[in-house]
């Protein structure tokens, strides 16, 4: 598909907006529909789109395997970190009220970081699964 | 329209068109969810169901070929089981409260608290986000761990170890 001029041009035009929309969905999730999961999927979709148009090696250069794999674990770690932060500051596990002197601010902060954790894990897993499927050749071995 | 689409999907022998039809089905489902005012879920359905899973299924299709194999014998027993389960589910829906009944149990239990106190307590206008991330934070943590486990499972199943790959190159 690398020779399709229309796809390449449209892809180059669209992908920045897809990533921007993902960030909007992520950080506007408090006010409108959206949140970490949807934003993660949209981010992964933008990168998968890039991989489909420009080929898997190009996508692997943008988001290398080690990065994607550590994203998978990092998101869960962020989420758990929020939980333990609440514990360390004298509240319950995943207690956001203690994260800030003002409880409402604390809730904001907790929800923000939790959503970041969800975003990171979902992006990593979706990309990893895509790499895994797209990176195999028909004979079953790795395609490189 | 969704029922017709489902029947078309079942009748279709070419797996490529099944994948495309299931993408269409996901988009229709997303519109249904928008009509039900569940915008967050609709967004997820449109992006995951119609977007990512279509791409993944196409990738899997590339690996295993596009024609469905003919069944060895007529699948009467699974068909009967499916019919029984559908009948049981339809029977179950008679016990549900009427659609958008304000007195339904799930509308009188914790929903008033979330709707009335949620914005005050969390400062987040979107109740879905407040419930997901704050009141049900532990459940969401579980969901993230599920996604994490799925990723780890795929990595464990499909990744060929680096060492063996190096050996194959040398041979």
Mean pLDDT over B72-77 rounds to 77
Does some domain include residue B20?
yes
Q: A2 pLDDT band (50/70/90 cuts)? A: low
* DSSP category for residue B159: P
Question: SS3 for A88?
Answer: helix
Among chain A residues, the shortest Cα distance to B150 is held by A125
Question: SS3 for A142?
Answer: strand
Inter-chain CB proximity B144 and A75 less than 8 Å: yes
Mean pLDDT over B100-126 rounds to 70
Does some domain include residue B17?
yes
Residue B22: which domain range? 1-69
Does some domain include residue B128?
no
Residue A66: which domain range? 5-134
Mean pLDDT over A80-106 rounds to 75
Chain A from 20 to 59: CB within 8 A of any B CB: 25, 29-35, 37-38, 41-42, 44-45, 48, 52
Mean pLDDT over B61-75 rounds to 72
Does some domain include residue B85?
no
Tens of pLDDT, residue by residue over B94-108, are: 887 777 667 776 667
Question: SS3 for B14?
Answer: strand
CA distances from B141 to A36, B16, B118, B132 (A): 12, 36, 20, 10
Inter-chain CB proximity A33 and B126 less than 8 Å: yes
pLDDT(A88) > 60:
yes
CATH number at residue B31: 1.20.120.1200
Does some domain include residue B4?
yes
pLDDT computed for residue A69 by the predictor: 84
Inter-chain CB proximity B133 and A35 less than 8 Å: yes
Whether A61 contacts chain B with CB within 8 A:
no
Question: SS3 for A136?
Answer: strand
d(CA B93, CA B88): 9
> What angle (nearest 5°) sits at the alpha carbon of residue B155, between those of residues B152 and B157?
110
pLDDT computed for residue A1 by the predictor: 52
Give B-chain residues touching A69 at CB under 8 angstroms. 155
pLDDT computed for residue B122 by the predictor: 67
Inter-chain CB proximity A125 and B47 less than 8 Å: no
Give B-chain residues touching A31 at CB under 8 angstroms. 124-126
Shortest Cα distance from B30 to chain A (angstroms)?
13
Tens of pLDDT, residue by residue over A48-66, are: 888 888 888 888 888 888 8
Inter-chain CB proximity B63 and A130 less than 8 Å: no
Whether A110 contacts chain B with CB within 8 A:
yes
Rg over alpha carbons for chain A, rounded to the nearest Å, is: 18
Inter-chain CB proximity B52 and A44 less than 8 Å: yes
Does some domain include residue B11?
yes
Q: What percent of chain A has pLDDT over 90?
A: 0
From A80, A114, A122, residue closest to B133, measured CB to CB? A114
Q: B162 pLDDT band (50/70/90 cuts)? A: low
From A134, A140, A141, residue closest to B59, measured CB to CB? A134
pLDDT computed for residue B84 by the predictor: 95
Give A-chain residues touching B152 at CB under 8 angstroms. 72
Whether A118 contacts chain B with CB within 8 A:
yes
pLDDT(A118) > 80:
yes
pLDDT(B63) > 70:
yes
pLDDT computed for residue B165 by the predictor: 47
Domain tally for chain A?
1
Domain tally for chain B?
1
Does some domain include residue B83?
no
pLDDT(B72) > 60:
yes
Shortest Cα distance from A114 to chain B (angstroms)?
7
Tell which wins on pLDDT, A138 or B107.
Answer: B107
Tens of pLDDT, residue by residue over B133-153, are: 777 778 888 888 888 888 888
Does some domain include residue B35?
yes
Does some domain include residue A80?
yes
pLDDT(A18) > 70:
yes
Does some domain include residue A139?
no
Q: What percent of chain B has pLDDT over 90?
A: 6
pLDDT computed for residue B167 by the predictor: 46
Q: B169 pLDDT band (50/70/90 cuts)? A: very low
pLDDT(B85) > 90:
yes
Among chain A residues, the shortest Cα distance to B37 is held by A33
Shortest Cα distance from B124 to chain A (angstroms)?
5
Among chain B residues, the shortest Cα distance to A113 is held by B133
Mean pLDDT over B24-51 rounds to 84
Mean pLDDT of chain B: 77
CA distances from A120 to A141, B58, B88, B115, B136 (A): 29, 25, 40, 29, 19
pLDDT computed for residue B100 by the predictor: 67
């Amino acid at each position: 598909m690398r020779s399709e001029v229309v796809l390449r041009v449209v892809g180059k035009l669209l992908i920045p907006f897809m990533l921007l929309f993902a960030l909007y969905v992520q950080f506007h999730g408090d006010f409108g529909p959206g949140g970490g999961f949807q934003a993660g999927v949209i981010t992964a979709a933008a990168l998968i789109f890039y991989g489909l148009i420009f080929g898997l090696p190009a996508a692997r250069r943008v988001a290398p395997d080690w990065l994607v794999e550590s994203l998978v674990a990092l998101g869960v770690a962020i989420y758990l970190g929020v939980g333990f932060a609440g514990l360390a500051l004298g509240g319950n596990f995943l207690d956001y009220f203690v994260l800030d002197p003002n409880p409402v601010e604390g809730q904001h902060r907790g929800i923000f970081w939790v959503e970041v954790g969800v975003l990171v894990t979902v992006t990593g897993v979706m990309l990893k699964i895509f790499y895994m499927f797209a990176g195999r050749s028909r004979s079953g071995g790795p395609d490189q | 329209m969704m029922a017709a689409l489902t029947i078309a999907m079942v009748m279709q022998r070419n797996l490529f068109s099944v994948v495309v039809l299931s993408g269409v089905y996901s988009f229709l489902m997303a519109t249904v969810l928008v009509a039900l005012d569940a915008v967050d879920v609709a967004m997820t359905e449109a992006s995951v169901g119609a977007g990512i899973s279509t791409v993944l299924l196409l990738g899997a299709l590339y690996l295993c070929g596009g024609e469905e194999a003919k069944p060895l014998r007529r699948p009467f027993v699974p068909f009967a089981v499916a019919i029984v389960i559908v009948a049981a589910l339809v029977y179950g829906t008679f016990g549900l409260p009427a659609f958008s009944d304000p007195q339904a149990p799930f509308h009188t239990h914790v929903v008033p608290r979330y709707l009335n106190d949620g914005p005050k307590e969390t400062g987040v206008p979107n109740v879905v986000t407040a419930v997901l991330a704050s009141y049900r934070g532990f459940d969401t943590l579980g969901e993230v761990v599920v996604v994490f486990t799925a990723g780890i499972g795929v990595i464990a199943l499909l990744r060929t170890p680096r060492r063996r790959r190096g050996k194959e190159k040398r041979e």
